[in-house]
Structure 1
Amino acid sequence: MAHIGYARVSTASQSLEAQEFQLKAAGCTVIYSDVVTGSSPSRPQWDACRKGLREGDSLVITRLDRAGRSLSHLI
């Protein structure tokens, strides 16, 4: 069982550092990160993160909006 983290910022001028710090503090052993708007249909590291999850793993994000911008994206 592993804690897998996902971090995302919308623009290159924003930093992933704070999210990555929080994910490491939560015990994440692997962290995937994207620099892309949440509404983008293409988030390569989000796709890799979901494919990398195994039964028993926990997905950890710092805020729900890091996974998607709307309820339809989350579903």
Structure 2
Amino acid sequence: MSPLKVGYARVSTDEQGLTAQRDGLAAFGVDPKRIYVDHGLTGRNADREGLQQALAACRDGDTFVVTKLDRLARSVRDAHQIADDLAAREVKLSIAGSV
């Protein structure tokens, strides 16, 4: 199978919309069917179902895409842990189009 781009979008409150992030992920080449979301959850909440699903969907050679680092994690420690997990699985991380 050829490598895929898997996208993740998150908003912290129920009042916020995901349109801008979805559009950004599409602009970075993520198929809309491959975008996983969390709605109404802060980045500090480690129990994010959409994030877990997105990470689980990644395979060796795929690219995990977020529009901004703060959509992925709220602390350097959390971002580092996620990046290390992806690297160990040979999944690339793309933040705002930079891999």
The normalised TM-score by structure 2 is: 0.73
Greater percentage in helix: 2
Larger of the two Rg values belongs to structure: 2
Structure 2: 5+ residue runs without aligned partners? Answer: 82-99
Which residue pairs with 1:59 in the alignment? Answer: 64
Identity of aligned residues (%): 40
Q: In 2, Cα distance between the equivalents of 1:52 and 1:19?
A: 19
Structure 2 residue 74 is the aligned partner of structure 1 residue 72:
no
Trace 1:27-42 onto structure 2 (pairs within 5 A): 27-29=29-31, 30-35=34-39, 36-42=41-47
Name 1:15's counterpart in structure 2. Answer: 17
Whole-angstrom distance in 2 between the partners of 1:41 and 1:71: 13
CA distance in 2, matches of 1:60, 1:51: 13
Structure 1, unaligned stretches of length 5 or more? none
Q: Which amino acid aligns with 1:10?
A: S
Superposition misfits of 4+ residues, deviation over 4 angstroms: none
Higher relative contact order (Cα pairs below 8 Å, separated by 6+ residues) = 1
Q: CA RMSD in A?
A: 0.8
TM-score normalised by L of structure 1 = 0.95
